[in-house]
A = this chain, B = another copy of it.
Amino acid sequence: MARPLDLNPDRLFPSDPTTRAIARTLYAEIADLPIVSPHGHTDAGWFADDTAWTDATALLLAPDHYIFRMLYSQGIDLDALAIPRRSGTPATDPRAAWRVFAQNLHLFRGTPSRMWLDHVFAEVFGFEVALGADTADLYFDTIAEKLASPAFRPRALFDRFKIDFLATTEGPQDDLGAHHRIRASGWGGRVVTTYRPDGVIDVEHEHFAGAMARFAELTGEDVYSWKGYLAAHRKRRADFRAAGATATDHGHPTAATANLSPVEAEALFGKIVGGRWTAADAELFRAQMLTEMAAMSVEDGMVMQIHPGSFRNHNAGLFASHGRDKGADIPMRTDYVHALKPLLDRFGTSTELSIILFTLDESVYARELAPLAGHYPCLKLGPSWWFHDSPEGMRRFREMTTETAGFYNTVGFNDDTRAFLSIPARHDVARRVDCGFLARLVAEHRLADWEAAELAQELTSGLVRRAYRIDSPEIAAKAA
């Protein structure tokens, strides 16, 4: 028999009645604030073309590596879940894939994916019974039916979700066509791009050569000369600002930065594009490019995001058969203190530059990141990220950073997701966990109630708007 699907209004609040009552009051004031999503991976084409999604498997299962990695870890074949191979998408019936997922939902107990899914099922689709083996078909059919209706088109959901600002991520090799179509359409939703140049910076990426060729084509610059390469970045940064971007993003394996002389930098670049590089050269070039990007940010005002520390494509067999982004990226120990020093030696006292630091290594929160952000004017802390974007992960982030960096050196929440339908769920989790944390401080008389109320607003809205400069007309102006 189907179980009821209930979202308890007190979910994620601490159980102690005093603390819970405070959390409830704090949350009531910010629960309905518009969503600001300054970093994510939704497809701009959805909003450009506003075409309907087709079915539950294609929308919720196949693109979500949080979900299929867990199923895979328990020995479930990815073909049975309709996950695309390099050689093409397997001929799996989407309904059959959905059933496999539904039968194994117990694997997600205690995970954030489970909370996000329940929120999507209840709030977006209106289900009142839980997903399970017995309701798999009901879910599959109902979702297909709803997705076919106008109310479930991307733009309609964007409005329904009260999204005020949504950033996608594109590379220098992208023509931003979808973003141009959004702007040309006259639609009022604020969907902007983010400049993520990794594809033309990381020579170890399998698509580097192709990305460079496209980079040359789109800019008309000689991107194989150091001067032309930098000029091409400047051009594309301006293009991105014209498409609304206020930020760049950098997902290197480490946080290493370098501060080479122009002559050294040019020589290194020669090795990179000449194909005469070692792994150490590749790392040094990525490091130098972070500093070059910082230099350009000082010029054009774009906020830098540094997202290091992932060992990409750890599973060699799966990478061979299925390619990237299949749930096989594993965090690594990451140093920031030594890694960032070259860049900080050059720009550390700048009040123009703004760098948002993320980590997959929680041991650096209290030891490195909070002390750095609590000192350098140019540094701020991004929220708990990826594997740590979860109730316990968010709690640890606040407990380990607040006492040294305070709240005001943080930047609010990032959903960082491809799963558009889960965006409200993810922001809701963050708001609840933050209110629970603030409530504990109030209950322990470490913060006044009115201060907690102000902070709840800041954590939801104020900090993210200022940190990402989303209300700063001068950044768009620099695009001209």
Is A451 within 8 A of B106, CB to CB?
yes
CB distance from A347 to the nearest CB of B (A): 9
**Of A39-47, A223-231, A364-372, A418-426, the one with at least 4 CB within 8 A of chain B:** A364-372
Asked, given contacts A330-B368, A451-B109, whether A15 binds B19 with beta carbons under 8 Å apart, the answer is: yes
Q: Which residues of B contact A409 (CB under 8 A)?
A: 73-74
Which of B332, B349, B361 contacts A317, CB < 8 Å?
A: B349
Contact of A333 among B15, B367, B406, B408 (CB under 8 A): B367
Min Cβ gap A112→B in Å is: 6
Interface pair B344/A314, CB less than 8 Å apart: yes
B376 touches A403 (CB 8 A): no
The answer on a CB contact under 8 Å between B3 and A448 is: yes
Interface string of A392-412 (1 = CB under 8 A from B): 110000011011111111000
Q: Quick check: is A215 within 8 A (CB to CB) of the other chain?
A: no
By a CB distance below 8 angstroms, the chain B residues around A407 are 109-110
CB-CB contacts of A336-361 with B at 8 A, as 1s and 0s? 01100100110011010000000011
B337 lies within 8 A of A444 (CB): no
Assess whether B69 is in contact with A111, with CB atoms less than 8 Å apart.
Answer: no
**Residues of A314-328 contacting chain B, CB below 8 A:** 314-318, 327-328
Within the complex, what minimum Cβ distance (angstroms) separates A181 from chain B?
36
On whether the beta carbons of A446 and B110 are closer than 8 Å, the reply is yes
> Which residues 38-80 of A sit at the B interface, judged by CB distance below 8 A?
69-70, 72-75
- A33 beta carbon closer than 8 Å to chain B: no
- Number of A positions contacting B (CB below 8 A): 92
- In the complex, A440 Cα to B371 Cα: how many Å? 30
Which residues from B are CB-within-8-Å of A32?
none
- A residues near B, CB below 8 A? 3, 8, 10-19, 69-70, 72-75, 106-112, 115, 311, 314-318, 327-333, 335, 337-338, 341, 344-345, 348-349, 351, 360-363, 366-368, 370-377, 379, 387-388, 390-393, 399-400, 402-409, 440-441, 443-448, 450-451, 454-455
Can you give 26 contacting A-B residue pairs, CB < 8 Å?
A8-B445, A14-B444, A15-B16, A15-B440, A73-B373, A73-B374, A75-B351, A75-B377, A106-B451, A107-B406, A109-B407, A109-B447, A112-B403, A314-B337, A316-B341, A317-B349, A318-B348, A331-B368, A332-B337, A363-B363, A366-B388, A367-B387, A370-B387, A391-B446, A392-B399, A392-B402
